[in-house]
Amino acid sequence: MTLPTFNIDIIFEIIDKLKDDGASLFNFLLLNKQICELTIPILWENPFKFCNIKVESKHYFIIQTYINCFNEDDHKEVISILKSEFENLLYSEYEIPLFFKYEKCNENEIPLLFEYVKYLKEFNIHDLNNAVITWYKIFKKKNNLMNSIYNNVEILKNHLFHSIMRQSQRINCLNWNIRFNDEKLLKIMQHKIKDLDYLTLYYKLYDNKFTKDFISLVKSNNNLEEFIFDYKSVKWNDVDNFSKISFDYILKCINLKILVLRSNKGLKFEDINLFTSFNNLKKLDLSFNDWSSEVTTLIIKKAGNSLSSLTIGEEDNKKSINDDTLIALTQYCPNINSLSISGVCKKSYEMIFKYIKNFRLVTLQLYQSKMKGTIMNLEGLLNYIEYEESLSTLGIGINDDYWHYYNYDRDNFKDFLEKHNIRLIVYKSRFYY
């Protein structure tokens, strides 16, 4: 019996549907040459996505593969930097074969089947930085150079970043730490990031410098589907200064589906156009921002009917969760099915349930602002679960007494949730754990 032959377009569609399933993609590599050629570009759009961060050898393999893809000039520069780093050890009793192996590898090494760097679509500076450091550490171990110093490691990292970006094609996803200020890299990547789909800008340490390059980047990418502006700190009172970015730049992103503005300040009500709105925003996160409730309320209104998921919360919840905010949410965003709220006291939650009682939520997550007490006996919550059959997942903050003290109320609440087929999860809200 002859096996059916699938059209190549159908095969590609199957592979594309499984683009987040690493195991299936790796299996496709073994089928035949044609399917392998279709799969490799998808695997190498972001090869770090399929790596366990604890398996250092995989990160080493990715960076080594990239280096093997470099042109002759970039390849020689890598050798030069490494030789400079270890020049005091080159004439020691240790054997250092890799330097010379690099220079002579063109004759005998197995040629690469693909130009892997050209397939890179997702540029994540954090992942790449960690991978290069891992490669460097394993390189030293392989060559008995563990006692060497790190004088040129930053030079090496920058050169690898530049070389990878030079050989890449169009980037559609950029995840960037603003404090990593490499003007040469920004210049190389400038024409490759003009049509981004996903943009994440974040700080890890406090620094309110927002360069013209990034203002221009936000301004020029009107086709973004996802924009995240975040300050990744464990301190809730450290915030990004949003004042240098016009909110109109974001509103002009006609394809925007996900907007995350977390730990920001400087956005003013009078600076936002009152007569514009988002076209198709699905997910909105407005957590821990230091601006007025009028700004939060206006952004929620602009999200409108298409919004299905909202995450909100602040240290001072009156700035984000009050009557005006909740009225706007119920009137302008009736299709919400996922709601996550943090930084609210137990008493305020009862007020919240008066507004959201008519929402057909599938997911609800609640995080108290204080470390004591529990929300499992909230009348508003119990009534909502009893009469609204849509809820399937309830998240309770990790600081809730439910997780820390055993009592009969906990057993009763657990039975109550099981009766209504609701799955209970731990909600870890940023800056409160």
> Where does the chain hold its CATH 3.30.750 domain(s)?
343-349+359-433
Query: How far is Cα 430 from Cα 433, in angstroms, rounded to an integer?
Result: 7
SS (HEC) of 125-174: HHHHHHHHHHHHHHHHHHCCCCCCCCCCHHHHHHHHHHHHHHHCCCCCEE
User: 343-349+359-433 in CATH: which number?
Assistant: 3.30.750
The pLDDT confidence band at residue 92, using thresholds 50, 70 and 90, is: very low
The pLDDT confidence band at residue 105, using thresholds 50, 70 and 90, is: very low
**C-alpha separations of 94 from 144, 258, 331, 411 in Å:** 7, 54, 73, 66
Q: What is the pLDDT of residue 225?
A: 92
**What is the reported pTM?**
0.80
SS (HEC) of 314-325: CCCHHHCCCHHH
Q: What is the pLDDT of residues 11-49, one digit of tens each?
A: 777 777 777 777 777 777 777 778 888 888 888 888 888
CB-CB contact of 312 with 286 (8 Å): yes
Q: Which of 81, 76, 95 is nearest to 132 (CA)?
A: 81
Q: What is the CA radius of gyration of the chain?
A: 26
Per-residue pLDDT, averaged over 1-12, amounts to: 64
pLDDT > 60? residue 149: no
pLDDT > 80? residue 337: yes
Looking only at the bridges linking them, the beta strands covering 122-124 and 363-368 are: unpaired
Query: How far is Cα 393 from Cα 364, in angstroms, rounded to an integer?
Result: 6
Q: What is the pLDDT of residues 45-65, one digit of tens each?
A: 888 887 666 677 888 889 999
Torsion of CA 242, 197, 313, 378, to 10 degrees: 170
Q: What is the pLDDT of residue 292?
A: 86
Query: How far is Cα 61 from Cα 382, in angstroms, rounded to an integer?
Result: 53
CB-CB contact of 177 with 126 (8 Å): yes
pLDDT > 80? residue 147: no
Q: What is the pLDDT of residue 87?
A: 60
Q: What percent of the chain has pLDDT above 90?
A: 26
Q: Tokens at residue 360, please?
A: 């057909």
For residues 353 and 245, the model is more confident at: 353
Per-residue pLDDT, averaged over 356-367, amounts to: 92
Q: What is the pLDDT of residues 384-420, one digit of tens each?
A: 999 988 999 999 988 888 888 777 788 899 999 999 9
pLDDT > 80? residue 344: no
Query: How far is Cα 69 from Cα 272, in angstroms, rounded to an integer?
Result: 47
Q: What is the pLDDT of residue 188?
A: 87
Q: What is the pLDDT of residues 235-255, one digit of tens each?
A: 444 445 666 677 888 888 888
pLDDT > 80? residue 425: yes
- Residue 215 buriedness (CB in 10 A; 0-12 / 13-18 / 19+): middle
Q: What is the pLDDT of residue 98?
A: 47
- Residue 358 buriedness (CB in 10 A; 0-12 / 13-18 / 19+): exposed
